[in-house]
Amino acid sequence: MKREVVFIADQPWENHWTGYYSVVQDGDKIRLYYRGASEADGNGWEPTCYAESSDGITFARPKLGLVDFNGNTANNIIWRGVISHNFAAFLDTNPAADPAARYKALGGLGFEHAGLYALGSADGIHWSLLRETPVMTEGAFDSQNIAFWDARIGAYRSYSRYIFPTEETQWFRAIQSCTSEDFLTWTTPVPNAYDVPHEEFYTNATVSCPGAEHIYLSFPKRFLPTRHKVLAHESPGVSDAVFMTSRDGVHWDRTFREAWVRPGRDERNWTQRSNMTAWGIAETAPDEFSLYISEHYSWPDNRLRRLTVRKHGFASVHGGVPGGEMVTRAFTFTGSQLHLNYATSAAGSLRCELQREDGVPIRGFTLADFPPLYGDEIDAAATWTGGDDLSILAGTPVRLRVALEDADLYAIQFRE
């Protein structure tokens, strides 16, 4: 859901091409990193800027006194140079991370100064290069290229842009990934694989899902470079944001091929390079995730808007009226309870059944044993007439059957 505008690029060191935002939550502080003023790729004077918020809504630009801009250091600039074109920061959650590089970042270009550089910081404000030479050179890096610690594989993972030729163009934008054990030596990039035809993706905004880090979420900016909706605007191209998921970080499920965020009725979002999802997800309430998306790119009121999503509610299994059912494939679980993230109408309901691997309902855990559940809860324990203790079934292959009527099931979790 679109919420308020939280940031407008209106300082002398910012302009209509300010962008490539990274959102980093560290305790009760949400940090925002972004490119300030820009005129051309690789010009050498672009600034990386920093803002912070306690609620994810009101962002302040601290006067850091670190970098000169037109004879004045009373600004929020933390770095300046070619790396600032797409400086993308993250909080390193690697348990073995050096405290001096508790924050890390990538930045640089593919066609000038030959690749992406690695940076580190103890406090997220004072930065230094981790190596004087690029750590990645294979890609078309004049975009936002991101990285994070991937706890699932116990290594750093990066997503960057590359290009390949098609029958229509020599410059088709796409996403690739690679991994590293030390953030300095990276594997050969592997292109994303999809179960549908390629679309042109300008950025990727890929993250591990907070609280379910075995799932990867990605919010690419889909770019259609030949469309030109606002003829008064000099540059062609329109964009929107899409949503996709992965279990291994390489093979991506594009069940939802429609736009995740449309340009809408605002004419200034129908021009090139708007609707770019910032990297990072912030938990701004116990039941709410906040993401951020750029608007009015290349306009004088270039800005950033907050989006909110129900916690772990990026998609749902929906049952309308008169209802429908979902049955999973066989799986095993650990824990003693099944927890549900669901919502129904006042007249709607949800019921659960556990089945044997062959589909036979398990006595005591059938639909008939499950009192209809209704309401709107992020974390509700599934309870049959005999109780909610499933420990007797832990480690045994089971299937889950869910019957829904005017209801949505967003997420499930087995735990103690």
Please tell me the predicted confidence (pLDDT) of residue 39. 78
Average pLDDT over residues 227-256: 97
The Cα 22–Cα 203 span in angstroms is 12
The CATH class of the 2-310 domain is mainly beta
pTM, 2 dp: 0.96
The answer to whether residue 166 scores a pLDDT higher than 70 is yes
Residue of 98, 15, 25 whose CA lies nearest to 49? 15
The answer to whether residue 114 scores a pLDDT higher than 90 is no
Could you report the per-residue pLDDT of 316-348, keeping only the tens digit for each? 999 999 999 999 999 999 999 999 999 999 999
The answer to whether residue 41 scores a pLDDT higher than 90 is no
Average pLDDT over residues 163-173: 92
User: What SS3 state is found at 393?
Assistant: helix
The answer to whether residue 270 scores a pLDDT higher than 90 is yes
How do beta strands 337-356 and 376-381 pair? antiparallel
Determine the topology of domain 317-415 in CATH. Jelly Rolls (2.60.120)
The answer to whether residue 378 scores a pLDDT higher than 70 is yes
Please tell me the predicted confidence (pLDDT) of residue 93. 98
- Residue 322: asked if its preceding bond is cis (omega within 30°), the reply is yes
From residue 380, alpha-carbon distances to 45, 106, 151, 215 in Å are 52, 40, 27, 21
Which residue ranges make up each domain of the chain? 2-310, 317-415
Averaged confidence pLDDT in the chain? 97
